[in-house]
Amino acid sequence: MDPLHSLSKTLITRLSLLFSLFCITNAAAFNLTTITFNEGYSPLFSDFNILRSSDDKSVSILLNRLSGSGFISSDYYNYGLFSANIKLPSNYSAGIVVALYTSNGDIYEKNHDELDFEFLGNIHGKPWRFQTNMYGNGSTARGREERYHLWFDPSKEFHRYSILWTSQRIIFYVDEVPIREVVRNEEMGGDYPSKPMSLYATIWDASNWATAGGKYKVNYRYPVPPPECVIVPSEQELFKDTGRLKEAMKLKFGRRPRSHRRPRQLKAE
């Protein structure tokens, strides 16, 4: 069966995610300029479940009975501010996890670094929950998940979620409001994220744990209208020296080899 034909019959939800990747030294500088998906990203898995806008400046990632989906940045980055404007699935989305995160697990399988935003699905009328995570050098002893309730409905309109990662601290933002800060200290030793990472966005079925500890599962018969895509700015100036890895990258989940071009220098509008 043609995947797109199957998709139209089994679509449960659409995540409209307008992606921002930029590296800056000032956390207050949230003004962005735009690049296309093709310039900065590539499919991670199930590219038939990734819908790109006609101008290639926004993307929707889908979940159906066949698979979830996701994409990855074309380069590795060592420190910076990573941001996405996201509109989450509406109505019943129990069991669905949407994640924005940085990781280098494809290169450092046993001592990887990772920074996460994870949205844990929802039942209509209940407050949305999300969690943040930090892993450094493969250690789970520090920076484990912290869970929060959003003070708004994230399925009504786009909101900005950002991770500021520097050599001394990590700050998670919701709409430019800091909600968690991790400060590097001597006790961490080598357990602070310090190796170059890629940026990811994914959606998948996590019915066994995501909503109320797995009590509520994904319901593929539940009608979920796809939210509209709205174009917003999506990239600001990159560091001249990003620390991006030079050697050949591993292939995983059948994704395309990533480009080794240096990031372009862009001026904010």
Q: What is d(CA 150, CA 147) in angstroms, rounded to the nearest whole number?
A: 10
The DSSP code for 167 is S
Are the C-beta atoms of residues 10 and 86 closer than 8 Å to each other?
no
Are the C-beta atoms of residues 244 and 259 closer than 8 Å to each other?
no
Cβ neighbours of 184 (radius 10 Å) = 16
Catalytic-labelled residue, pool 39, 109, 118, 237:
118
Q: What is d(CA 103, CA 40) in angstroms, rounded to the nearest whole number?
A: 16
Question: Does 247 qualify as catalytic in the annotation?
Answer: no
The two three-digit tokens of residue 98, written as one number: 């949407």
The two three-digit tokens of residue 28, written as one number: 């207050």
Q: What angle do CA 209, 174, 98 make, to 5 degrees?
A: 30
The two three-digit tokens of residue 119, written as one number: 């949205």
Catalytic-labelled residue, pool 114, 145, 157, 176:
114
Question: Does 237 qualify as catalytic in the annotation?
Answer: no
Q: What is the 3-state secondary structure (H, E, C) of 186-250?
A: HHHCCCCCCCCEEEEEEEEECCCCCCHHHCCCCCCCCCCCCCCCCCCCCECCCCCCCCCCCCCCC
- The distance in angstroms from the start CA to the end CA of the chain is 46
Are the C-beta atoms of residues 211 and 123 closer than 8 Å to each other?
yes
Catalytically active residues are 114, 118
